[in-house]
Amino acid sequence: MTRPQSPPDPYARPQRPVPGDSHRSALVVALIGAAATIVAALIGLFVQLSGDTEQRASGPSLGAASPAPSTPGAPATSVAPLSSVPPTTPAASQAAGGPAGTPAAAPPSTAPAPVGLPEQFLGRWQGYAEEVDATRTDHYRVTVELGQGTLRDQVGSVHYAMESSDCYGTVTLTAVAGTDQVTLGESIQSGDCVTNGRIILTLRPGDTVDFAYETIKRDGTRQSVKAGLERVA
């Protein structure tokens, strides 16, 4: 059974909203707005910091010129790009041997001074020789005359005054051992003597030299001649 509804009381007091409900709603709205503002600010700060970090990591552009600090009274200077710097410097080119890698010129070589006949041997030398071979021993006078010259030069003459024949020839400087010994190559030009031989002269005190001659005779035997020569001119 349905209860009949009572008509509204015209004299009843109107109901008021509960105190504090509107204040709580406004506070919630304010907090939400503040939180949104803080979040937006944090996002913007994060984006800015990320961009600065990437710029510092990548470094300055190679092609860009760095601005020079301005100093009162100092002339403005500019930094050239790396691409405009020449690859080599004058010092580097000189170390490499010249421009474009040209090899450096070698220092001029100094030729050694020619070896000449020591002046102690210059002059005319004379004495008596003793020739020894397989069959006999002969004695005769030997004269050697020497002038100036260098290696492989003809520097004088030789004369053998024997009983059977006089032999004349020329001598060529073939070796110099210091200032007290020389080697001469002998070539006989006239007389009945072996054509070629070797003479060693060794300087001794008192203007004397030891004369030593060696050769191979026509019959294949060895011939040697020794003498003590004195300076006569």
Rounded Cα distance, 156 and 124, in Å: 9
CATH fold group of domain 119-231: Lipocalin (2.40.128)
Please state whether the predicted TM-score (pTM) of the whole model is above 0.85: no
User: Tokens standing for 198?
Assistant: 């070797």
Beta bridge partners of 145: 124, 157
pLDDT of residue 214: 95
Arithmetic mean of pLDDT over the chain? 76
User: Which of 144, 139, 141, 117 lies closest to 232, judged by CA?
Assistant: 144
pLDDT 10s digits, 129-157 = 998 776 778 899 999 999 999 999 999 99
pLDDT 10s digits, 80-116 = 455 555 555 555 445 455 555 556 666 666 767 778 9
Q: What is the dihedral of CA 225, 147, 203, 206, to 10 degrees?
A: 110
Contact at 8 Å (CB) between 158 and 227?
no
Compute how many other C-beta atoms are within 10 angstroms of the C-beta atom of residue 120. Answer: 13
Contact at 8 Å (CB) between 211 and 127?
yes
User: Which of 173, 140, 146 lies closest to 158, judged by CA?
Assistant: 146
Q: Locate the domains of the chain by residue range.
A: 23-56, 119-231
Residues 6+ apart with CB under 8 A from 174: 151, 152, 183, 184, 185, 198
